[in-house]
Amino acid sequence: MELKTFFDFCSGIGGGRLGLENCGLECVGSSDTSRLANITYDLLFPNKNDKNYGDLKKFDPKVSPKFDLLIAGFPCQSFSVIGRQAGTKDPRGQIIYYLMNILEKAEPLVFILENVKGLISHDGGKTFKEIIVSLSEIGYSVFYKILNSIDYGVPHMRQRVFIVGFRKDLDIGSQDFSWPVPKARVNISDFLFPEDNEMSPDDKRWFYYKYLNNEKNKGKFDINNILNQDNLIVDTRMSDLRLYVNRMPTLRAHRDGIYYVKNKKMYYLTGAEALLFQGFNHEHVSRVKTKVTNRHLLMQAGNAMTANVVEEIGRSILKTLSGGK
């Protein structure tokens, strides 16, 4: 069977959509309830002809276009190791079961689901096992793996669990489907483009006292050594400071305080740059840069799927369905 179309659930700003469109697939619809994310989504994909169906809890496959593949980066707050880990007891955690209901009714050939890697260990592994068993019971052969975005063309350390399912009548076994092979690492300098985002003098003083001269870090870091390392990523958390060479720590929706060094100056990571770390290109950035605030772009990029990873998974799926060709 040929894979041609997909539906973008929990679509956010469209990282999943971009990845699958790069595989040559056509999006026939999306679903997300975030007003601001939907505005950005429409700006990033100005030529789309499909519509947003809103709340997936009210989604009816009978009145939507048919689709061959379902993709969803379903809400992760209730499974993340940095959250309260309420799991399926959290209303957001229940979204997975609405997605299963859609899968059961729409019967697409394939699905791709994405979540934080903490989903696998939540409640001692019981939650994840329940999800995998349930997906199998509604008629899918299920495969899962933790993939890191940094292995697929962006210098971004983002570990996520991906779950891929093939409808059982396709008779796809573990010998038929292969996860994408990691690629050579790329240079972070190609993703950093300082403009008017240099750290202000006041913020420099605040940075020094809060992160370099505090009780925990005093004498541990030398500001001159930091400023002499071009493209160094400087990540601040609470009173902690972490330095990264040629790699970006995981972008998150509610994570501020990431800086980088260029030409002995320190810059704030911008929302536009964050989009590049999630696999969007400069043309996408130009569509939103002056229309969406930097703060919202940072948050939305932090919630997005990495397009590069989705594209590679999509290509692996297409190869599987074509018999390995």
10, 23, 27, 76: the catalytic one is 76
Q: Under a CB-based contact definition with an 8 Å cutoff, are residues 16 and 29 in contact?
A: no
The angle that helices 294-303 and 35-44 make with each other, rounded to 10 degrees, is 90
| Ordered strands of the 265-268 beta sheet | 240-244, 233-237, 258-262, 265-268
**CA-CA distances (angstroms) from residue 274 to 10, 127, 180, 252, 298?**
20, 31, 24, 10, 6
Please state, in angstroms and rounded to a whole number, the distance separating the CA atoms of residues 82 and 255.
12
Phi–psi pair at 101, nearest 5 degrees: -65, -40
Phi–psi pair at 312, nearest 5 degrees: -65, -40
Please state, in angstroms and rounded to a whole number, the distance separating the CA atoms of residues 311 and 280.
12
Please state, in angstroms and rounded to a whole number, the distance separating the CA atoms of residues 36 and 267.
26
Please state, in angstroms and rounded to a whole number, the distance separating the CA atoms of residues 53 and 48.
14
Catalytic, 27? Answer no
Q: Give kind and range of the element (H or E) at residue 203.
A: helix 201-207
Please state, in angstroms and rounded to a whole number, the distance separating the CA atoms of residues 13 and 7.
14
Q: Under a CB-based contact definition with an 8 Å cutoff, are residues 73 and 305 in contact?
A: yes
Please state, in angstroms and rounded to a whole number, the distance separating the CA atoms of residues 180 and 39.
32
Q: Under a CB-based contact definition with an 8 Å cutoff, are residues 21 and 119 in contact?
A: no
Q: Which of 68, 81, 160 is nearest to 113 (CA)?
A: 160
In one letter, which amino acid is 231?
Answer: N
Catalytic center residues: 76
